[in-house]
Amino acid sequence: MRAVFLDFGSVTRGDMDCTALEQAVSPWKYYAETGINQVMERIHGAEVVVCNKFSLNREIIAAATHLKLICIAATGYNNIDLKTAAECGIPVCNVRGYATPSVVQHVFMLMLNLTCHFEAYRQLVKNGRWQASRHFCPLDFGIEELSGKILGIIGYGELGKAVADVARAFGMRVCIAEHKGRAAARTGRVLFDDVLRQSDFISLHCPLLEETREMIGWREFKLMKPSTYLINTARGAIINETDLLRALSTQRIAGAGLDVLQQEPPDNENVLLQYSQSNLIITPHVAWASRESRQRLLDQIADNIHHFYQGKPFNQVMDGVATQSLSR
């Protein structure tokens, strides 16, 4: 066995083409999921190990004597012990940029559902209230346009820039936030607190780091306008969930659309899952998960493996620093 995918079920619903993977290395073993008590048996003898969220710790990596390459089926790499992999001479490669179109359309799906009350109007029709209406169009729920509104973007990497492009097509004005705590803004940026004060919508696209953990809390909600909508397709822990619940339930902000939570999968006691008002939409971390996006992910993993066997690891992560192309 040369290659194993430990949690293939996290990236496929039976709709993926694995041809590129099979051409990069063969044979493969695909597991829908792997438990901690199964991993050593499953990676025994494997040269290439691919995982999405499964954690490869020091003990696992050090014991995998045949292992030559770790591929992460994601951009984030906090589930891999990079130090141990480096000590063992094992490159770690991630995937990048594969989900941009999928995430961008999900951002605007959340924004449009919050402002157009899609689900409420859908239920109105299903419940027969349109059929019983005296007017040709029931105006039971308010509808807002995106055009002319200010979109504040926090995190202006590939995703933030792509969201900005689509926002401008909607006629929105884009406001790019400077890093929180900076006293002066770079050209083209606006001070963090000013973005919070000005924006009608705020979309988060920054990574989860110590400086971004719970970056949005009650202090930040108090700076926002009561008409502001908060969108998070980045990482759940960027927002203090208790403070968000307070902001929603007191109408401190107009609403929120979340694709991520602090704990995933969440438990039933999560405070946000207990909130039943329509100004909060939660989707289960699927912004990235279009069929096309997942196929690009697998194809990029195959590309990483192909480059590795050519002696030129690609998309390699070393000591927590992502590099585009590094020779071994």
Q: Is 285 a catalytic residue?
A: yes
CA 65 to chain centre: 33
Q: Are 199 and 150 in contact (CB under 8 A)?
A: yes
Out of 117, 235, 294, 296, the active site residue is 235
**Which candidate in 44, 173, 252, 285 is catalytic?**
285
Pair type for strands 316-318 and 92-93: antiparallel
- Concatenate the DSSP letters of all residues of 107-154 into one string: HHHHHHHHHHTHHHHHHHHHTTTTTT-SSSS---S----STT-EEEEE
Specify the DSSP class assigned to residue 269: T
Q: How far apart are the C-alpha atoms of 46 and 4, rounded to whole Å?
A: 7
296 touches 16 (CB < 8 A): no
Of 213, 264, 291, 328, the active-site residue reads 264
Q: Which amino acid is at 273?
A: L
Contacts of 308 (CB under 8 A, 6+ apart): 48, 68, 69, 91, 93, 314, 328
- Which residues are designated catalytic? 235, 264, 285
